[in-house]
Structure 1
Amino acid sequence: MNRGDNAEIPGYSTAERDRRWRLTREFMQREGLDALLVFGEHEDAGPAPFAFDTWFTNARAGTTVVFTRDGDPLSLLPMEMFWRDYLEGIRRGDIPWITPDNIRVSRDSAAIAETLTALGLSTATIGVVGLEPYPPWHPEGLVPYRQWNTILDTFPDAEFVPVARPLSRLIMPLSSEEIAVVRRAGSIGDAMVAAMVATAAAGVSESEVYAAGMAAGYARGTTPAAMHLYSGPAPLARAVPPWSYRPQAPRVLADGDVVSAEVFANLGGRHTQHQATITVGEPHPDLLRAAEVARATYDAGLRSLRPGRTFGDVVAAMREVLDPAGGWEFGPSVHALNPAIALSGFPADAGQWIPGAEAYPPEPDHPTIGADLELVPGMTFAMEPNYVFGRHLAYLGGTVIVGDPDPIELNPYTAQILRARGDNSALSA
């Protein structure tokens, strides 16, 4: 990478700030809200973070935002280090979206109560972001019980309304500035996977492959979330590698292995995902068969991803390929990004095909979430079809933007099987 690569990173203007705040005020007016109370997840949350706060602040994740219909947003920070970052940014020429008079240096229940009281919201109707389910990490909301119970006790005459779902649909269609950021994130993700392909080979530790991918992201000016990676002759798992959470040696790759990875790139609060299936040596015939199904599913999803249709229409089009294929689906094949508010369903009995699965609790049904979401230009989706024959899992795909009318495919590179090191060209699938 040359030095000019980082110089091409797009940013957000004050016009983008004004657009977001205008949309928010219109939303509050339309929903009959006097204010919004937005909880954000801490900045080290990893993939699919609950980081609605950054949409308002263009700053570090992990804050709580209070936004009245007639004022500018206030940012309640977890510690003073956050406002020191603001000062350092100003010294470097940044234009902060949140001014010093709109910053508070605590976000516990007492600080929230003090802020709401000072703004005259003791009897207001307040929309809350953080109470509703946000799969998979927050099945019953983000806000801690004690904190929320204290707020309810303090404001018995206020009405608190969960609004994460309608607000999500408001912010999901990206602006031209945000699309430029997503495009850049997508190119970073491709570079991460390319570095992994170039590193993987028989005799190489899977941790070296992991490190090569993450380093490519860091070198391009972002801090990717920890990728999911498994390797082996036929890995059937999707998670951070086991040596990241318990003391054990990483695997050493062998001829005939597969590196199966889910790579996360992010920039400016906008995220892309990349599904990488990298073969070391000749791929197993069942893997190639599975890749054919996954690729046909990907193409069906692309054809259906059009403005005016629904997310459910896309899922149905993909299921037409998956259901009769004769193998089984490992997990969801498509989900929304920025934010992740829609997720395709898949059969409840899929896991029964894994040897030894009978010893574990049966899987519940996996219905589609957000099937009624109408597609609008600027929405982003992780198109990640996957399929298994025997024990051989093909996981393909990347990030796609709803265009007008055609979808914008950011990552055709990972929508196919990739060969490690000796032959870095993709296999036809």
Structure 2
Amino acid sequence: MPTPTPLPASGGTIPEAAAPHSERAFRMRQTEEFMDAHELDGLLIFGADRSDRYDAGQYLFRDRRYQHYVLPRHGEPTMVAFAAQVAAQHQLSRERGLETWIDDIRVGSAPELLPAIAHEKKLGRGRLGVIGAGYGSPFYPGGWVSKPVWDAISERLPEATLVDVTRDYGLVMARRSDEDLAHIATAAAAGDAAIEAMMALARPGVDETELYAEGVATMMRKGMRVTWMLFQTGLDNYAWGEPTWLTRPEPSRKLERRDMVWAEIFPNYAELNTHVNMSFTLGEPPAETARCAEVARASYEAGVAAVRPGATFGEVCAAMEVPLTESGMWHLTPQFASLNPLLSGGGSALGIREHVDAFAETYPHADGHARPFFDFEIRPGMTFSLQPDARSGRSGAIVGGVVAATESGCREFNTVSTRLNTVDV
């Protein structure tokens, strides 16, 4: 795939939201200032299939995910939808008196329609920012536009200057309004409610599938989009990820006395994503598990203290490592992640080769990484997941919660998930 012309990380000053607040005007104003600062005549926006990670089109127009757009600096935007059902749903919303943010919806092949629309809007010789062809997150380090699509569009826009702005525009999206932060609070609360529901159900003999279903159902009853949970059980468990019975045909596990439940929960409200990491035990935790929980909580508190405007993402990661380093512990998952969009995550799997028997021998090429995927300055309105994971050998505990940078510090959104919980059995 030809590499678009890179830009240095920059951006204009993002204004405070007008009063009374118009979310659409706020987002569009940020985008217009971004285009001015980068001398762009317009944007070509490629939809992503995971809006919790990055979907600029959904951010700008609050419509269906995974649609594509042409947005001129001066003029009306156009959506290229995958099917007529997108337009039908849009029209029905209008008939019901609901707010919509885009008028021109067309259906067809993106490689053909996007260049045609760009020419129609007199952008064929312009400087166009491309969103989706460069770094978008640790999951999309090279973007999400396929080579055949990119080649077809490039051929149809031979006189345009195509500039990758994926990463830089992600930093614009990351500065959320007070309205968005209220929605994030709703999502974070749904995560805490899911934990409480799972704890109420957890007893020896309860199947993992029952707990998982209860957590998901609780969030859905609160109006969340729920894609999945990372979910593990067992005190002697150094793994992480979704339960393997979702991946391959195998039996789920039943809880035992003095057991442990671990999860990372992703309630998504108004396409604003949260990561709520948590663990709880059935009965009082063993001494080593309790010690891990204390270290994880210390790491969480270090993160809360470090999230400040002007600090960098990497500085928060480093601060959260200190309690683990001082305690001789390791962690499998990142301690810190940016949200909305998920632009970066901290180091992970630090120490697994030394602390888990035979791991290094069995998987000689499975290494962790120490540094963040992408470092940037924290600014007010940015949202993050603090998700400290403290492990001693095969014991461990995970706590966490969603936070946002404010003008003066850090706002916490979760209460239940920020400490190791116990269930009386």
Worse-superposed segment, 54-63 or 316-325: 316-325
Hey, what does 1:19 align to over in structure 2? 26
SS where residue 66 of structure 1 aligns?
A: strand
Q: Which runs of 4+ in 1 moved over 4 A?
A: 346-349
| 2-structure distance, mates of 1:79, 1:369 | 35
Hey, what does 1:124 align to over in structure 2? 126
Worse-superposed segment, 212-221 or 152-161: 152-161
2:310 is equivalent to residue 308 of structure 1 = yes
Query: Map of 1:128-139 to 2, 5 A cutoff?
Result: 128-139=130-141
Worse-superposed segment, 253-262 or 346-355: 346-355
Hey, what does 2:10 align to over in structure 1? none
Amino acid at match of 1:162: D
1:351 CA displacement: 4.1
Hey, what does 1:160 align to over in structure 2? 162
Q: 2:100 aligns with which of 96, 99, 124?
A: 96
Report the CA distance shift for 1:201/1:364 in structure 2 as closer, same or farther (over 3 A): closer
Hey, what does 2:417 align to over in structure 1? 414
| 2-structure distance, mates of 1:319, 1:233 | 23
SS where residue 163 of structure 2 aligns?
A: strand
Report the CA distance shift for 1:347/1:255 in structure 2 as closer, same or farther (over 3 A): closer
Count of equivalent residues: 404
Report the CA distance shift for 1:117/1:158 in structure 2 as closer, same or farther (over 3 A): same
Hey, what does 1:6 align to over in structure 2? none
| 1-structure distance, mates of 2:245, 2:116 | 45
CA distances 1:195-227 after superposition (whole Å, capped 9, x unpaired): 111111111001100000000111011221201
Hey, what does 2:396 align to over in structure 1? 393
| 2-structure distance, mates of 1:232, 1:69 | 54
CA distances 1:264-322 after superposition (whole Å, capped 9, x unpaired): 01111111111110212232222111111111111111111122222222122222222
Hey, what does 1:4 align to over in structure 2? none
Q: TM-score, normalised by structure 2?
A: 0.91
Quote the sequence identity (%): 31
2:355 is equivalent to residue 353 of structure 1 = yes
Question: 1:64·1:107 contact (CA, 8 Å) conserved in 2?
Answer: no
Question: 1:57·1:75 contact (CA, 8 Å) conserved in 2?
Answer: no
SS where residue 326 of structure 2 aligns?
A: coil
RMSD of aligned Cα (Å): 1.8
SS where residue 279 of structure 1 aligns?
A: strand
Hey, what does 2:233 align to over in structure 1? 231
Worse-superposed segment, 343-352 or 18-27: 343-352
| 2-structure distance, mates of 1:190, 1:78 | 36
| 2-structure distance, mates of 1:62, 1:175 | 23
Hey, what does 1:53 align to over in structure 2? 57
Hey, what does 2:343 align to over in structure 1? 341
Amino acid at match of 1:327: M
Hey, what does 1:74 align to over in structure 2? 78
Question: 1:235·1:260 contact (CA, 8 Å) conserved in 2?
Answer: no
Unmatched segments (≥5 aa) in structure 1: 1-12, 424-429
| 1-structure distance, mates of 2:285, 2:307 | 31
Report the CA distance shift for 1:351/1:133 in structure 2 as closer, same or farther (over 3 A): farther
SS where residue 115 of structure 2 aligns?
A: helix
